[in-house]
């Protein structure tokens, strides 16, 4: 068996186009640097669902858990599947099924040209969001009552457990400690959500007290959105719940040059001696149906995501190299139109593959 087995779900819309860049990059690194990587392409997504009703088979989930080291995912979501059942089954099947409780989303602007804020530079935007990834409003608890009548009721419960809240907050502090960061922000809405978010606030204060060298700052999420666009430089590490983390990282992508530049890792940090669980690595963006099949999607979010994956597999220097190659591509205008270039998805990807392959 290969040292690193990576399941690949290209998915829907622009997913296959950006993932092709990612897999070419991995194959090139495998051949150039001798990494023992095996890619396992999975035929899952809207096409498969529409063909035979399959979303996320149990055997595939088991094989990923038992025999893979990572999953690389493009995006899921297709206008032909109105209720997006396949997308939820696959995405939440992986996030919840593997209990990948940290959705780590760097909000890093790589070049001054991409910074949309007046009088700010790329160096002013460099923080990471730890989004809780297994509960909150995403737990899917709830239901509909008297659907389609004037009296109908629709409920989605917001689930916040002590264990779930504590472990992601602790992971954010541990990350800060390991990376020389001085400040962790927690964003909630405890002024309105006095039950669930009082728990977040209390646990944040308790866990924060265990890290006396790191400043623990609490913010309400609405104010955080304001501060992120006024002065992102005040943020180093942010921890928040599932829904707020989803929203604030699309806002953050706006400071990075758009969704085509935002990467993410869904991971489950383990203590030494515990069994490693494969992480799920995906660009933050979705399937962008209007862009699909046109060779216009920006593949750099996927390149940066592959970097995060390689770091987690034990090759952090490759993540640094890939990030530098993306920065150079932006500086040289070797990029897609959303970030000011003239290249298509394939050529922008080929630029990175050639650049990284030329590094010894």
| Residue ranges in contact with ligand IPM by CB under 6 A | 87, 91, 246, 284, 286
The CA-atom distances, in angstroms, between 157 and each of 42, 92, 160 are: 33, 16, 10
Q: Please, what is the minimum distance in Å from the beta carbon of residue 250 to Mn ion?
A: 6
Q: Which stretch binds Mn ion (CB under 5 A): 49-57, 83-91, 191-199, 238-246?
A: 238-246
Q: Which does 260 bind (CB under 5 to 8 A by kind): ligand NAD, ligand IPM, Mn ion, none?
A: ligand NAD
On the 0-12 / 13-18 / 19+ scale of CB atoms within 10 A, 195 is: exposed
Closer of 25 and 265 to ligand IPM (Cβ): 265
Residues lying near ligand NAD in the complex (CB under 6 A) are found at: 14, 18, 75-77, 84, 91, 258-260, 282, 285-288, 291, 297-298, 301, 338
CB of 90: closest distance to ligand IPM in angstroms?
A: 10
**CB 255 within 8 Å of CB 117:** yes
**Considering beta carbons, is residue 69 or 246 the nearer one to Mn ion?**
246
Residue 291 Cβ vs ligand NAD, minimum distance, rounded to whole Å: 5
Q: Does 246 bind Mn ion (CB under 5 A)?
A: yes
Ordered DSSP codes for 308-345: HHHHHTT-HHHHHHHHHHHHHHHHHT-S-GGGT----H
Q: Which is nearer to ligand NAD, 190 or 256 (CB)?
A: 256
Rounded to whole angstroms, the Cα distance separating 137 from 141 reads 8
Q: Which is nearer to ligand IPM, 78 or 246 (CB)?
A: 246
Among ligand NAD, ligand IPM, Mn ion, none, the one that 259 touches (CB under a kind-dependent 5 to 8 A) is: ligand NAD
**What's the DSSP call for residue 136?**
B
Burial of residue 250 (number of CB atoms within 10 Å: 0-12, 13-18, 19+): middle
Nearest approach, Cβ of residue 126 and ligand IPM (Å): 20
In whole angstroms, give the CA distance from residue 155 to residue 158: 10
Per CB under 5 A, 158 contacts Mn ion: no
Site of tokens 């998915």: 11
Cβ closest to Mn ion, residue 153 vs residue 247: 247
Rounded-to-10 torsion of CA 16, 17, 22, 24 = 100
* Residue number, 208 or 349, with CB nearest to ligand NAD: 349
Beta strands in the chain (DSSP E): 4-11, 37-41, 70-75, 102-108, 126-132, 142-145, 153-156, 183-188, 215-220, 237-240, 263-267, 279-283
Q: Does 132 bind Mn ion (CB under 5 A)?
A: no
Pick the piece of the chain touching Mn ion (CB under 5 A) from 68-76, 124-132, 240-248, 289-297: 240-248
């Amino acid at each position: 068996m290969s040292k690193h087995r990576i399941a690949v779900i290209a998915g829907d819309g622009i997913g296959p186009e950006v993932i092709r860049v990612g897999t070419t990059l991995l194959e090139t690194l495998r051949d150039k640097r001798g990494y023992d990587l095996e890619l396992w392409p999975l035929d899952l997504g809207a096409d498969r669902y529409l063909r035979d009703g399959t979303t996320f088979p149990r055997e595939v989930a088991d094989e990923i858990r038992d025999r893979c080291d990572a999953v690389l995912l493009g995006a899921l979501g297709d206008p032909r599947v109105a209720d997006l059942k396949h997308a939820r089954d696959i995405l939440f099947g992986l996030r919840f099924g593997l209990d990948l409780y940290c959705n780590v989303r760097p909000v890093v602007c790589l070049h001054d040209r991409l910074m949309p804020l007046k009088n700010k530079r790329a160096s002013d935007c460099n923080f990471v969001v730890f989004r809780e990834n297994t509960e909150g409003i995403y737990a899917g608890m709830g239901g509909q009552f008297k659907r389609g009548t004037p009296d109908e009721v629709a409920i989605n419960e917001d689930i916040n457990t002590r264990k779930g809240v504590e472990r992601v907050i602790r992971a954010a502090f541990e990350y800060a400690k390991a990376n020389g960061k001085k400040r962790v922000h927690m964003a909630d809405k405890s002024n309105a959500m006095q039950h669930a978010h009082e728990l977040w606030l209390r646990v944040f204060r308790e866990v924060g007290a265990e890290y006396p060298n790191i400043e623990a700052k609490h913010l309400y999420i609405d104010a955080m959105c304001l501060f992120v666009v006024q002065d992102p430089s005040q943020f180093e590490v942010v921890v928040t719940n599932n829904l707020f983390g989803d929203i604030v990282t699309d806002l953050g992508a706006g400071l990075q040059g758009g969704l085509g530049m935002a990467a993410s890792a869904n991971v489950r940090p383990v203590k030494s001696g515990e069994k490693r669980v494969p992480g799920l690595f995906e660009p933050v963006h979705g399937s962008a149906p209007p862009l699909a099949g046109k060779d216009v999607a920006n593949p750099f979010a996927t390149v940066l995501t592959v970097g995060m994956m390689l770091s987690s597999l034990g090759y952090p220097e490759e993540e640094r190299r890939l990030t530098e190659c993306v920065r150079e591509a932006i500086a040289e205008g070797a990029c897609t139109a959303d970030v000011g270039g003239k290249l298509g998805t394939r050529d922008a990807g080929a630029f990175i593959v050639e650049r990284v392959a030329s590094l010894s």
